[in-house]
Structures are given as C-alpha cells and as structure tokens.
Structure 1
C-alpha cells in the first residue's frame, strides 16, 4: 500500500536552504568496462553511505543501453550535498571511475511532491522529463498533485517524486516500480489516460521517458547528523522542499562540473537540427556567404531507413540547383507509377514517367541517404554539423538571438546569432520555447501502424508503388497495405496496420505522447499476415531488414515566425505518411526561408520580406496536411484528373498566389498564358546564345542564389526600346545591390542592336513565348525569385510597377 504526501501540507519552499535534494548523474561507460564500473561504484557507495546527510544512493542501468548508467543520490539538504562535493570521498570516487567512463552529465533537483511507499524490494526506475513554460510552474505542480492522488494504490508503484532543476523549466517525474512488468501493465491499462489527464497540456508539448534497471542500492542505515535548518526527511517519504538558486555539487561526480564556455559570436544564423530541412537551410545560407552554424543533438547521422523514402520532382529541381541531383539519382531508384487494388480488384494503374510537365520522375531514396548527400554538400561549403549539441533555451532582442547549448559531455555554452531557424523535428525545443501551439490541436490517428523492409516474391510492375485497401459497403476503411519499391530486386518498404492483438491495447481518449505502449518491432510473421490478408494469394515476404511500430500525428502550428526565430519542417507541421509529403514539405520550407534570411543578414531585405515566410509557407503547409489527412484512408486516386493530382503531390503546382510578395502590373495587353505570380517558373528548352554551340535551358539562367529578371522582346520591338530595356536592367541591378540578374529573350526575327550590359538569348523555337504567354508583339517582363517562383510580371514592361515591386523585396 502506498501513501500520498498531502500537497496542502507539503508546500514547496523554493529558495529555502536545508530542503531535501536529489542529484542525477548519467554516465556512459567504456565498452567492456561495465562490470568493472559497477564493482568500483559499489565499493565507493559503501563509503558514501557514511557521509553526513546521505539518505540513499542507487545505481541504475538504461534498459535499452547496457553502457549507460544513472547514479541517484539523495541528500538531507543542500549543505550536505555541497560538503560531499568538497570531500575526500568524492575525490576518491572521481579517481576510481575516471578511466572507466566516456562522458557524464549531472543535474541537481529540488524535491517538489511525491508518493512514498514502504521498504519493498524494487527493481526498476522510470524517469519522465518534461518542460514547463515560465509562469505555469504552479499550475503544473497542482496538476501533478491531482495525478498523485489518482495514483494512490496503483499495484507495483513503490514511490514517485516530482523533481525540478533549479533555475530551469525542466521537471522530472521519477518513479520506482517493483518490476518492469508492473510498470508496463499500468501503461497498457487504458485507465492510465484518465489518471494522467491533468498533465496532458504539458506532456503533449515535450515528453521523454527512460526506463532503468536498479543495479545496486547500499543498505540504508539512517542519516548521520548534518548542519541543516530543519530535520532530514525519512528515506521512505521524501519531503517537499526547495533549493537555493546556485547549483549544488553532485552527490557522485566522476568529473568536474560542466564547463561554462564563452559566448561564440561568429555565427550569423543558427540552425537547430540536421535533418533534411535544417541541412537544406544551412546549404542555402552557406551558398550566399552567410556564417551559419548547425547543431544537432544526435551524436551520429541516421543510418537506417526509418523515415522518408519518396523524393518529389520539385525537390529534385532544388537539388539540381544545389548541385547534388546526380548523387541523389545514383543512390536512389525511380518510382515509375502506382497500382491500386480495392477489395482485391485492381482499380487503376498510373504511369508517372510519361508526364511531360515533370522534369524528373519520382525518386525513391531512404532518408539516411538524403542526409548523407546533403551533409556532403554542406561540408563542401566549409560548414560542419556540430553533433551531440542540444539547444536548451534562447532569448531574443532587437539585435539577435542568444542560444543556450549543452554538448554530450555536459559542457554548457551560449552562442549569439542574428537569426535562429528551428528545424529540430516533431519534438522541437524551438517550437516549445516560442510557445507555439498546433492550430486546432495536435491530432493522432487512433490506429497503430507498422513498417518493415522485406523482399516480396510477386510479379508487380517494376518500380510501381503498390497499394491495397479494403473498404466495406458502408464506406468504412478496414485494411491498408502500401508497398514502396526500394533499390534491389523485389525489395519493398511495407506500411500497414499493426496486428489486431496490438490495436486492442490502445485504449481510448486523449493520451500524452509517450504513454502509449512501447511495442517491440514487428516480426516477419506480422508482415506476412498483413500480406496474406490483403495482398495476392501465395505471396511470400522474406529477409526482414528493419521494422517498427508507429503512431500517426498531424497538425500545423499557429505561426511559423516569432521575431528573429523561425520554425520549419516537422517543427512546424506533422503529416500522415500519405503522399510522402513530410520531408519534401520541410525542404520547401527551408528553400523559401533561406534566401530571405540571407538578405536580412546582409541588410538588403525589405521590411516585410521575413513576414512573407509565414504568409507563404503556412497556407501551403496547411493545405498539404489537410490533404494528407483526407486521403490517408482512401484509395488516394482521383480518376477524374490523375495528372493534376500527381503534379500536386509532386508539389509542382504548389504556389504562393495571394502572397504580399508577388504581383502583376495592372492594365496593359496582358499575357496569353504562362505562370501566374507566385507559381513555379517552368523550365524552357531551346534557347540559343551567341558563342554557345548547344541549346540552353531557362534554368541555366535562373540557377543560383540570385533573382532573375527575364525581359522578353517580340515582334515590332525596335532598337530604341531595346536600349531602354538595357538601361532598365542596369538600374535594377544597381538598386538591388546586384541581387537581380537580367537577360533579354528575343524572338527569332527581332533585330537586336549591340547591347553592352544585357545578355541576349534567342527563343529560337518559340518555346519561351509559348510557356510564358508572351507570343506576339511587344515587350514583357518576369521576375523569377531565388526560390524559382514568379515574383512579378508585366506586359508591356512597366518600369514604375517593376521598380515598386522590387522595392518591396530588396532595400538595395
């Protein structure tokens, strides 16, 4: 039976000396030294148990990583912990463990509330951490007190405590259970959702959980006297107490406290996160000469195929501009089309390779390969990724952002940047620190899903994504099997519903992330069962390389920018996997944002340029999320216009129409077609330039970090008018600080006089005039932005309208 410490009588006393404290020390042990480390700590722990004020110690090992240990020390008050930190016992322990460990980090916490039990034997500890926004601490602690009341009498729960790191927004819920089985039974019980309900608003923003095995606990012989302002708490019932602001020395410390490094100032933009979104942003900034720093809390890049596969055509165009498209094509495999079966019958088959609007087909490339290629490109620009470095917080002012960082060794530092880009994924610290919320809430599909990479022995069209769905007569969706071809013979990534035995354990209601049952990866038999249920009879899956169970969340934040800080990718929007939009959308975010931030760093951005990131990318992101949710449980095919649907999914028709940053001159004769303002500027073949023996592409002109002014001259345009266009091009180049390059594209029969400052290309076959709606007489102009979208167009050329538009983008 457990007992609850009444919060009404256990008032937190933050800042009061003498309250109980807990020190947590995580240590990474050298490979092969695990047993030696445990024995060294056992020996030292006996001595530490006799130190004044020591209440208890525990040595725990990460249940998923045998080389990671957690040492917990409880002290009667801060004075006792400080005294131990200066003692000979601490020095001896440091010496005995120094050669056995690789790294360590520690924190000291005040004990806030807790459930305490008797002296039962215990086996596991669960460490749940979450962050609480400034001003919400009291509400969070009241909510926790309600939860502890509901947990009264939970089978197997020995004790639980709420700990807070002084001066930080980080809380730990530190629970001891009789066994791993007791803890997991509680997690599996749907009633735990009701018990934990008051904490959902915080746990749904940031949540981490680690399970530890208790390896050793010295016998508790009581607490020796110490100088304290109030009595030490009994071991079984830690009291609610506060701590002074300064950080205490650790109870057990194999290394000196984390060093405080000086602020770094060489960074103009800090990118947090080295996934595809963050790497794309960093590449674009580095291409423009911006001093960018990239930090990522992962110690190593991804090495297994647990994320995105599909690379969209628009992403391939971006990679062509960045100079990495060939590497991507060499590493990937082409997806030629899609074959769909509904209730066992083939309903449609689409070939993607014949669409003339697509300069590239759909590429299959595991995300770890995508990251490898992007990292290599970033490295070639002289920018490394700072790995094992985590953002813990930041502040911003009128001049920049100060970011607080901690590395894998626990060393804390700060860096100053003009801007910060948060590309730190679904659990974004940047999003949390900004106080961003998901518009309409973060939703989760009720089903469990599973993934697996297997060989399948069927005869399906090569390179086709194959999809089976089962839809009942009443329209209910009851089955789904999606198989995406991978590089290799008949190798597929299989996505489907998890087995029913697991679906039944989910429970109901809203549950904080991380509180769902943690499942073992599915086996080959589970994948085979799904294929037997929905796929062709007699099909066999084999050679399972990797698998996982996952949940699908979806939502979009209420804004993408706050001051000098931005969010992008999964930090801004979460997608169902339908259509493979997540990674590609994040890359588009970075592609849109980076050129604007670079101009702002140089002082060449207009007042509203950075605001256009939210105005353009958030509506695009919302449309993509909404569509992915809508088609997640359908056959995904629109038979009325398969071509338009696929172009939309490839993000070729995604546009920024209505953005304050795009426009068109009023009046004039107008265009006969062509891309509208905000739409993607299409490539054109067949351009000719004097001195070049082969045809050129329009993308040969727009490729790079600049904006492009395309001046078109058709029939009837004379020499004086052409010289006027040359003068206009020079003026625009000067007023935009060289950010706009201009070209004249003349019809095949236009007489062009010698021009000094305006390169001339011939539209030899009329392809440009047809694609951009400039056929016929007169002049026209398009401004193509650095991200390849049309910023402005005018026909005939209106110098005043053109200059007004550019003044809304560049300051010169």
Structure 2
C-alpha cells in the first residue's frame, strides 16, 4: 500500500493541466494508442511540459483522456503554436469521432510515492458564486486529513479558470482500493468540510492509465496545500460508490426462469397489456392511470400485506395534490392529512428563517402532511374501484422481452412458479428493484452513501412552536463540518411530530464496513425515547420534552439515479430509478410524477396510437427532472436548507410547481412577430384559470374542467380582431384533428368578450369574460388567434401565435400515430 508522505505542504504557483477527451472510431483503439505514444515523445521535449498521461475510460473503451501538466499557461499557449501540437493533431485526426479540451489551474495536491499507478478518479463539482475561496480552504483541510490513506497515490484540485467548475483528480493504485475507502465509513471525518459542494453538483468517471511517457523538463508537480489547522471531525459525509455506467444496450434482456416449485405446479401465463411490478405510490399511480384509459393492467407486489408503518415519506407536494384532483382522490387525501403551511429553520441555535407558504396565489393546494401508508391506502382503494386488485405475495423472478412483448417469471405464495405475458413492463419495485437489476442498469457516478446512521421517531413534543410548520435545526462547525441535524414534521394530532436526526454516537461508532444495498437499510434495533430526547436536548428548544413514542427506526441510506429509464419494452420509475435522502418526501412525489408522465404515453402505445418516438420522451423528460431533484434533496440534507434569496421561488421548486420539460424533444412553439407576452412556455405546467363562461352553464367554468381527464386539449383563441372566416377555419381544423387522433384531442375555442363568433357546430366555445385566460396565457393586446396544446399530464406541449396549421399538425404527429 502507498503511504502518503508527511512533509510540509506547498502550492505550485501557476501550474496548469490540460485535459483532452477523445472519442475514438470503432476498431481504431490500438492505432490511437500507438499514434499518441509517438506524438507524446515529441511533446515531452516541449519547454514547460511537466508530464503526460493517456487514460482510458473504464466503462467505454473508445473514450480516452489525454492529461498533460504544464509549468504555466504561457507554456500551454506556446505548445498550441508548436509543431508538436500539429503532429498530435495530424496523427489523431482520422482516428477520432469527436474531442473536447479544457485547461485547469492546478491548486492543491496530495502526493505519495513513485509506485506504478493504475486508475484515475475524476470527480467534477460546481460551487456557488462567491464560494470559490471557501471551497478551496475547505479542500485544503481535506488534503491534510487524506494523508496516510491506503492506496491513494496522489490527489489534486483543479479549477477551470473563469468558471465555477472544479475537478478533484485522484490517482489510486487500484479501483478496489478506492472502492474500499468509499465503503469504509471510518473515512467519514475526512471529507466533511467539502461535502455540501459535492452534494449539489457531482459527476465521476474512472479511467485506466494506459501509458505514461518519461517526464521531461521541469520535475513533476508536487503540489500540496499549505498547512491549515484541521477542523473538527464530521460524522456527516456523503461518499459515492463507484459503479460503472455501460454503453446503452437496446437489446432485449434475458434472465433465467425460476426453479419450479417442489410439487411441479406451474401456473399458466396470464395475459395483460401492461404488467406493473410494485404497489407503492409509483406503481399504484401507473396502474390507475392505465386503467382510467381502458388498458388491461396487472399489478404484483412481493409484500404479502400493504404498508401500515410510518417509516417512509410524509409530505404530499402541491403539484401532487393537483394531480390527485385530476385522478379523483384529492378530497379523501385532505380529509386524512394535515396541512403543512410553513417552515422555521435554526442554524447553530439561532433562528435564520421563518416562512409562511399559505398565502401563495400560485398554489392550487397547500403542502399536505400524509404518511405514505395512507397514500398507498387511498391509491389502492381508487385502483380497486377501477376493477384492479393488487396481487400480493407475488414476486418477479426474471423476464425476457422480444419484439412483441415481455414474458415475466413469477413466484406465488408457497413457492408456486408462474409466468405472465404483457406488451410492456413497468418496474416500480423500489430501492432493491428486481426490474432494475434485470435490465443491468447502473447508477450514474455510482451510489452515494451517507455513512452515518439516521433515526426516525413518531412522538409528541410539548414545545411552543408555530403550528403546521416544518422545523429544522442544524449545527455546522466553523470549518464546514456538519455535526448535528434535527428535522421535525407535523403529523395529524396535537403536538405530534415525525422526528428525523442522526443516531446516537454510541451507535455511530458501531457502523460496520460491509456493503450497504441501495435505499434504506435497517440493521439496528430501533432507538428509544431517551435517544430522541437526547437530540432534542442537544439541538432543540431548552426544556422541551418528548413523550408517547409510537414508532422508531434506525437506518442508513444510499442515493443516486440510474443511467437509463427504459430498455426496449421495460421501464423503471420511482425508487427503482432514483433514490433520495429522507428530505421533504422528494422520492415519493417524484415517483408519482414519473408514473403520471409515463402512463398516458404507454396507453397510447398499447393502443397503437403513439408516434414511434413517444415512449422515448419518458426518459428524456423524467430523468433530468429526477437528477435535479436528487441533487437538491442531497443539498438540503447538509445545509441550512433556505439557501436561495427568493424563498417563494425555492418553495415552488420544492413543491415541483415549476418543474418543467422545456428541454424535451416533445415540446415546442412557433410564433410570428407578436408572439406571446408571457404565459406557460412549452414544457411548463399549464395553470388553471377561473371565470370562464359557457352557454347553458349558470356558473363559472374552470380551465381545468376542460383539461382534466385522459385526453389532450387543444385551446384555440379568438379576440375582437379575429375575422369570422378565420374562426370557421379553426373549426374545420379542430374537427380534422379530432378525427385524425381518434378523439384523443379535445378542442375548445376561448373567445374574449368582444370577439364576434359565428354559430359553430364542431368547436365548443367558452368566453374569457374578464380576460383571466388572456392574462395567464400571455395573450395581451389584440393580435389575433393563438393555440395551446395541453398534454394529458397538464404540461404545455405546444403553442403557436398566430395559429399555424402546419406546425400544429407537425407537433401532433410527434405524439400520435399517423
């Protein structure tokens, strides 16, 4: 093992590193390496070159990284004009598909001996504006703590000048050495000062070092940090586990069928159009939405009984409440839950934030407190009302997929084997997903782990705190180490709270170094009331007493997001696709939205009414949303949480009201000179509007009365300048689109009070008497017609002003089969 040298730290002034990433043409890998070796010999003689390395991506043998250290930027610039650079470019030009280069300032480094190295770990992270100096100081503390780490040869901090991007470039003897360090929680006190920056934006790649020519010119960089007093050790650390991310594999996945039961009984296949594996909130939502659309859906769950314990999510986000209104269960949810309408935050004993969410006009509903077992009860009952019962005690043992569908191997209670055939399979089977494992999906950058233990408890607390407020106390040491956390979420009842905090020190010291599986991992006896009381005494208000402990648990957790959400006819959603820290119910609500997004698309595909690319949009839309939410949930776990200047914007983001699919290939717009003055852009949630009037209805109509349901909605508009002839043309267009999509699109005309509308037969008319729709959807001024397409999931798919028929039809062709 390499032991780090204990010698005074220095900062190498002016040194820089260039990183050239190249994707090599298939079959040219060996020629590429030979060409680089020849060119590298010439580059080594260039003044100012310190060293070079050729690295190969351990997961992708066609991706290489050329790393070079230079004395300063002048040396890099001189090389860029040299014949050696031209030689390298010429030698590699015909062998590569693409390339990109970055130049970094070399800031700090920890260097070991001269042993042969095997792998490089490249960890990229971003820091917030104005936080660069704080991050570098914190990293200097970390480098001091890293000395003596077995297997670590050197580690360097690089900064891309003029950006907020940093790289931690570490060299280890073997990847296993790095893996051992990650899995051993005893390293928890080493990286505490920089954990909050690694949580918000994180990316990692593992490279094999293929060749390192003799170094020439100036001796190799030996940059180490200046001596910095060590900060107190931190028990709270997130460390990623390196899991390799393979190339996409579109081929069907095959698993061996289960062993037949001892009595030889094998159930015959039961056909369905979609098989949903897992009956948590994600799977139940998927099944409900498919059943609403008339799809033959089957739901299995290996748990013999539904959940009855409060060990999972509590909060129901505002956007989820809006979804539940469409589904028809929002009233039952409100009756069963309690409103969460504020948040109070304390940092190091001082109140830093108190915000009330109850007065936000943008919210259709407030934040609801509802235990996950109640959520599953409501969703399960609603699914049963649609004629679908969850098959419990049935476990997925394997599956194969072909061009026409998926065949699943099942095990029933008592060990009886069986099969099920479906057109599609949805894996909503949680953190230990059998579907994810069967597809061979891996977590991007690996699974990150909180090595410390957490504990949860359901208690009564006698403090005088704002009712309905989420309460949070954190302690952050001067050096940046996170050493205390207490989060209390109101439950239904008087002064009843769910408490989440770190487990007692006596248990933290007993953490083993074995492999921890994804998600929540319970391996200790639950804590007692005295353990929870000790944390309240340490962090909470003086004199507070906890009582009536109903339930408690201790666990560890890993979190991350998979590389893909779909392989062929099989999909993953919810915790099978992304794992979250226990912060704010993000995991459950995100999983519900996964199912909400996927199900309407899957239903069209089952009926043969979907465009060829529609199902691809599920991953394109939900994976970026999932990654952003995982990153945010990790950041919340290790900060004072209220870290945005605009607390209103932060809350809307937390409640997923501003989550959008603006980058999706499935959304778009076409506008003329006037365009839209505001309103929801393509990919954003389509807001409700009050005060519409429809002939024959004696009360105001909501816009959601038109858009709610399983259909797509086409909203055509007319103002006082819209000629009658154009309104007649819009009626003909609406009729044609309705027919072309098999009734999947419901068109309406929203006309202002002054619009002159002729008698129409095939286009229902509503009046925007008070201009509320025009204001909400960016139709200020009298500039003629416009159109919005609102998808079944309530997001804007397309908009155009003026109405452009060709563009509108082109958009719909990307959704519906022609």
TM-score, normalised via structure 2 length: 0.68
Alignment check: 8 A CA contact 2:625 2:659 kept: yes
Match for residue 646 of structure 1?
651
- Aligned partner of 2:786 in structure 1 is 780
- Structure 2 residue 244 is matched with structure 1 residue 257: no
CA contact (8 A) 1:709 1:782 kept: yes
The counterpart of 2:411, out of the listed 393, 406, 410, is: 406
1:408 Cα deviation from its structure 2 partner: 1.1
Residue equivalent to 2:379: 374
Any idea what SS the aligned residue of 1:697 has? coil
State the SS of the aligned residue for 2:266.
coil
- The residue number in structure 2 matching 1:283 is 288
Residue deviations 1:331-351, cap 9 Å, x none?
A: 000001001111111111000
1:294, 1:673 → 2: CA distance? 42
Find out whether 1:456 has 2:461 as its counterpart.
yes
1:693 to 695, 698, 708: 698
1:429 is aligned to 434
Looking at structure 2, the residues matched to 366 and 258 of structure 1 have their Cα atoms a distance apart, in angstroms, of 42
Q: Tell me: CA distance 1:642–1:201, structure 2 relative to 1, closer, same or farther (3 Å).
A: closer
Q: Which runs of 5+ in 1 are unaligned?
A: 1-142, 148-198, 203-244, 251-255
Q: Deviations over 1:218-252 (max 9, x none)?
A: xxxxxxxxxxxxxxxxxxxxxxxxxxx999999xx
Q: Is the 1:421–1:566 Cα contact (8 Å) retained in structure 2?
A: yes
Structure-1 separation of matches of 2:304 and 2:354: 43
Q: CA 1:599/1:501 → structure 2, altered by over 3 Å: closer, same or farther?
A: same
Residue 629 of structure 1: which of 620, 625, 634 is its match? 634
Query: In structure 2, what is the equivalent of residue 789 of structure 1?
Result: 795
| Corresponding residue of 1:805 | 811
Aligned partner (choices 524, 528, 533) of residue 519 of structure 1: 524
CA 1:776 to 1:633, structure 2 compared with 1: closer, same or farther past 3 Å?
same
1:597 corresponds, among 590, 599, 602, to 602
Give the drift of 1:690: 0.8
CA–CA distance in 2 between the matches of 1:567 and 1:746?
Answer: 42
Structure 2, unpaired ranges of 5+: 1-175, 181-240, 245-255
2:625 to 620, 627, 645: 620
- Partner of 1:661 in structure 2? 666
Could you tell me which residue of structure 2 aligns to residue 355 of structure 1? 360
Q: 1:517 to 1:294 in 2, by over 3 A?
A: closer
1:496-546 C-alpha deviation (Å, 9 max, x unpaired): 000001111125686566998821000000000010000001100000000
CA distance in 2, matches of 1:768, 1:645: 26
Equivalent in the alignment of 1:606: 611
1:631 Cα shift? 2.1
| Segment drifting more, 271-280 vs 402-411 | 402-411
CA distance, structure 1, for counterparts of residue 544 and residue 434 of structure 2: 45
Indicate conservation of the 8 Å contact 2:243/2:442, yes or no: no
Q: How does 1:103-182 map to 2 (within 5 A)?
A: none
Instruction: Give the number of the structure whose alpha-carbon radius of gyration is greater.
Output: 1
| Structure-2 separation of matches of 1:544 and 1:712 | 58
Name 1:682's counterpart in structure 2: 687
Shift of 1:639: 4.9
* Alpha-carbon distance change, 247 to 473 in structure 1, aligned in 2, over 3 angstroms: closer
Contact 1:657 1:677 in 2 (8 A): yes
8 Å contact from structure 1 (residues 712, 774) kept in 2: no
Contact 1:271 1:282 in 2 (8 A): yes
Residues 260, 416 of structure 2: 8 Å contact kept: no
Change (3 A) 1:709 1:517: closer
> How much does 1:460 deviate?
0.8
Would the alpha carbon gap of residues 517 and 387 (structure 1) be closer, same or farther in structure 2, given more than 3 Å must change?
closer
* Distance in 2 (alpha carbons) for counterparts of 1:276 and 1:761: 36
- The answer for the alignment partner of 1:466 in structure 2 is 471
Q: Is the 8 A contact 2:257 2:409 kept in 1?
A: no
Worse-superposed segment, 378-387 or 466-475: 466-475
CA contact (8 A) 2:574 2:588 kept: yes
Q: 1:545 aligns with which of 544, 550, 568?
A: 550
**Matched-pair contact (CA < 8 Å) for 1:451–1:548:** yes
Alpha carbons 2:299, 2:390 under 8 Å: kept: yes
Residue 715 (structure 1) shift: 2.3
1:474: how far off?
2.1
| 1:552 Cα offset (Å) | 2.2
Question: TM-score scaled by structure 1?
Answer: 0.68
Provide the C-alpha distance between the structure 2 equivalents of 1:247 and 1:563, rounded to a whole number of angstroms: 22
RMSD: 2.1
> Structure 1 residues 538 and 751, CA, compared in 2 at 3 Å: closer, same or farther?
same
Asked if structure 1 preserves the Cα contact closer than 8 Å seen for 2:469 and 2:490, the reply is: yes
8 Å Cα contact 2:267-2:417 kept in structure 1 = yes
| Number of the residue aligned with 2:297 | 292
Shift of the 531–806 alpha-carbon distance from structure 1 to 2, 3 Å rule, reads same
Task: Name which of 342, 349, 355 aligns with 1:344.
Answer: 349
| Bigger Cα displacement from structure 2, 470-479 vs 553-562 | 470-479
Partners in 1 of 2:440 and 2:767 — Cα distance? Answer: 53
Q: Distance in 1 between matches of 2:700 and 2:474?
A: 47
Following superposition, the deviation at residue 807 of structure 1 comes to: 0.5
Partner of 1:305: 310
Q: How many residues align?
A: 568
